[in-house]
Amino acid sequence: MKPHLRNGTGFAGKTIGLLGGSFNPAHDGHLAMSLYALKQLGLDQIWWMVSPQNPLKSAKDMASLDKRMARATRVATHPKLCVTAIESELGTHYTADTLRVLRRRFPRTRFVWLMGADNLRQIPAWKEWQDIFRTVPVAVFRRPGYPAGRNMGKAAICFDKAWQKTWKKGTNAQTTNIGPAWIMLDNKLNYLSATQIRKDSPTWQV
């Protein structure tokens, strides 16, 4: 089931993981992490939110949204994975804004933000990054070259008290009084990267 902005009732009571990114291109590493999160977090579905244009990345090497969507759709083979360009429909450019709008459009849906440890290190450069932690729970995937400790960077230190040793199904900052919550997942390291794929396959670019 794909998200329809005019009708959020189909996802009432569901827990949806949100994996945002350029997906330039999507690859089996995205798939492996998603399958792990579905099982470990008890998610009903994961939305691969293909960004029209990451504000922190150059548009020079970015394939078209249609091309990235098509590739992601081919990679996301599990029935609980949904590839969407929902940010284009929402008209949002920043994650904090996207999450706020999704909360309003899907008031009875639980969302979990999924991201790699590389992004946990970089997230202080994002617009209103602290609001992301305050809006939804965050689950962080281990990534090669990044430590898996609680104190890896400004964001982790800032929200140290929100760190969860284990994930309880239903952990949900938007419908309980637990406040911010985040966890470091113990996923198997995957060494695939979109950057390397672009280097190895120059024809991938526009």
Q: Which two structure tokens, joined as six digits, stand for 54?
A: 């990451």
Domain ranges of the chain: 20-204
Work out the pLDDT band at 174, boundaries 50, 70, 90. very low
The amino acid at 175: T
Pairing of strands 81-84, 110-116: unpaired
State the residue for tokens 């997942």: 185
User: What pLDDT digit, counting tens, does each position of 12-49 carry?
Assistant: 999 999 999 999 999 999 999 999 999 999 999 999 99
Q: pLDDT at position 171, please?
A: 52
Q: pLDDT at position 169, please?
A: 58
Q: Is the pLDDT of residue 83 over 80?
A: yes
User: What pLDDT digit, counting tens, does each position of 120-135 carry?
Assistant: 999 999 999 999 999 9
Q: Is the pLDDT of residue 140 over 80?
A: yes
Domain 20-204 in this protein, CATH class: alpha beta
Q: Is the pLDDT of residue 54 over 90?
A: no
Q: Is the pLDDT of residue 6 over 60?
A: no
- The percentage of the chain sitting over the pLDDT mark of 70, rounded to a whole number, equals 84
| Cα–Cα dist 47/38, whole Å | 11
